[in-house]
Structure 1
Amino acid sequence: MLFPAPATAHDSIVSSYPAAASSVDSPPDEISITFSAELLGEGGTGLIEITGPDGVVYSEGEPEIAEATITQHLSANAPSGRYTVLWRVVSSDGHPTSGEYGFEVLTSAPLSPSPTPSTTAAPTATPTPSSTESAGTDGVRTEGHGEATGGGAALPVFLITGVTVVLIGLLIVVLLLRNARRRRDAEQP
């Protein structure tokens, strides 16, 4: 009763390319996000949707999941500007987790010399934000259970939880000792 059950936390982002709130000189070939533990599932269980400054989705093909990393290819004709990356994966604890972050491309991809138009992937369903969404300090948003996606933010949560548990335990011990002292004093004539 004095010791709470351990809290389970979803996997958090350890790194991403491009990084949240960063700028890159040219459009990357792919977006990759690495989590703190191996992701569950293959094909269809992960999603990365990359939306450009013009509102067009530049994700190309299906995302690839390899251990703790999910990778999504980016269309070759991506323009310069601000991009939004929406992601959804299944954490190692079996629960889905999702979020979004942004980055900026400073220059457009060079146009190909061939006159054939390039195709972009059809827009996919956009995850809808819920009321449990929170904003991180580096522009990263997460949805669900308050897990941080900036990498290292899980430590303060565990630290705060641990300190809180210790303080509650000390308070209980002090109250029990005070109660025992009062009983002892009341029994003495």
Structure 2
Amino acid sequence: MRTASTLLAAVLLAVGLSFLGASTASAHSVLESSDPANGSTVSTGPGSVTLTFNEALQESYDVLNVVGPDGNFWQQGDASVVGARISVDLRSLGPAGVYRVNYRVTSADGHPVRGQVEFTLSTAGTGTPGPSATASSDGDGGTPAWPFIVGAVIVIVAVGGVFVLRRRARS
């Protein structure tokens, strides 16, 4: 009985530590370049935006949108991933100013990577914007922490229960 409860405690502890001690992998995808280049100024709107990473990306859960100085989306259609590149077509751009390219991609190792690049349109175009970026947030805050916290609490309570039962069995 004592060996079984010790083994159970060890397994539960290992599971608990896997929840609490999960570390971040250091091999996430890294953005290498963008077209238009980050921080560049263009006089006419490009037809698309392309981001290039240091490794191939997974083709799941990718997001690439472009928000203009007016707070509206300017991408057209869904982003596409081909190897280490993600791209999206753009509408004809409108107001002059800074356009922010927001991305969320999935690394080859399965971890999400997000960020932002920007370019400036120096001469206003005549394009019509998409919907407001503020009204249609995708609500993604990354991987939620609550399942890991709940799992860790359950494991800690279970391990504590095993130790209490062991002490009672000895008495």
Structure with greater contact order relative to length (CA < 8 Å, sep ≥ 6): 2
CA shift, 1:59, in A, is 1.4
1:11 aligns with 2:26: no
Structure 2 unaligned regions, length at least 5: 1-24, 143-171
Q: Separation in 2 of the partners of 1:29 and 1:127?
A: 27
Instruction: Tell me the residue number matched to 2:77.
Output: 61
Instruction: Could you list the structure 1 runs, at least 4 aligned residues long, displaced by more than 3 angstroms after superposition.
Output: 121-124, 126-130
**SS in structure 1 of the partner of residue 51 of structure 2:** strand
Equivalence map 1:1-189=2 (5 Å): 8-42=26-60, 45-109=61-125, 111=126, 118=128, 120=130, 123=133, 124-126=136-138
- The 1:91–1:119 alpha-carbon spacing in structure 2 relative to 1, beyond 3 Å, is same
Structure 1 unaligned regions, length at least 5: 1-6, 113-117, 131-189
- The 1:107–1:127 alpha-carbon spacing in structure 2 relative to 1, beyond 3 Å, is farther
- The 1:122–1:30 alpha-carbon spacing in structure 2 relative to 1, beyond 3 Å, is same
- The 1:20–1:127 alpha-carbon spacing in structure 2 relative to 1, beyond 3 Å, is farther
- The 1:85–1:129 alpha-carbon spacing in structure 2 relative to 1, beyond 3 Å, is farther
* 8 A contact 1:27–1:79 mirrored in 2: no
CA shift, 1:125, in A, is 2.5
CA shift, 1:99, in A, is 0.6
CA shift, 1:95, in A, is 0.6
TM-score by length of 1: 0.55
CA shift, 1:120, in A, is 2.4
Q: How many residues align?
A: 116
More helix by share: 2
- The 1:126–1:94 alpha-carbon spacing in structure 2 relative to 1, beyond 3 Å, is same
Q: Separation in 1 of the partners of 2:141 and 2:49?
A: 21
- The 1:17–1:38 alpha-carbon spacing in structure 2 relative to 1, beyond 3 Å, is same
* 8 A contact 1:51–1:85 mirrored in 2: yes
Q: Separation in 1 of the partners of 2:37 and 2:59?
A: 24
